[in-house]
Amino acid sequence: MSTALLLAAQELPPAQRVLASGPDLTRYLLVCGGLIALVLVCGWAARRFVGGSLRTRASQRSLQVVDVLPLGAKHRVGVLRCGERSFLLGFGEGGVRLLTELEATEPAAERFSAEQRRIFAAALQRASGRSAAPEPPAARPQPREAAPAPAARVDAGVLA
């Protein structure tokens, strides 16, 4: 059958011969499928390699909003941490203003003595079902009083 079409196409003038043969639909579909696959592979590679580094960089930012407290309809106060320093900021109609730099608080591990941490570890082991040597009741230290909160210096006219 295909030889009959070829013979018929050869008998036609050159202008009609192109129309008789027509475009190769199989080749067209393969090229389109290949291009779509190439675009999908490039998108996957970009998301895997570039997107991962963006997420890593975003999680390691040194600037973090710790907390925001609304004071009214248009005024808020917030704590911003930049590296090791913390700032108290006021947000209002006039924009953002620095109220004060907060003093660094000691980490929780440094608040308790080694003896207090050992006692807590023993109690945690007992509560979880692991065996630990019981501690004598006289060895328990008295609870510490809560430290007063650091006083914040407020600049005049910040949230007016």
pLDDT digits (tens, 9 = 90+) for 1-59: 555 555 555 665 655 555 556 678 888 999 999 999 999 999 998 888 877 777 777 66
Average pLDDT rounded to a whole number, residues 63-79: 89
Does the pTM exceed 0.95?
Answer: no
Cβ-proximal residues to 11 (8 Å cutoff; 6+ apart), any chain? none
- Top mean pLDDT of 120-129, 133-142, 145-154 is at 120-129
Return the number of other C-beta atoms located less than 10 Å from residue 160's C-beta.
9
Q: 91 and 75 in contact (C-beta within 8 Å)?
A: yes
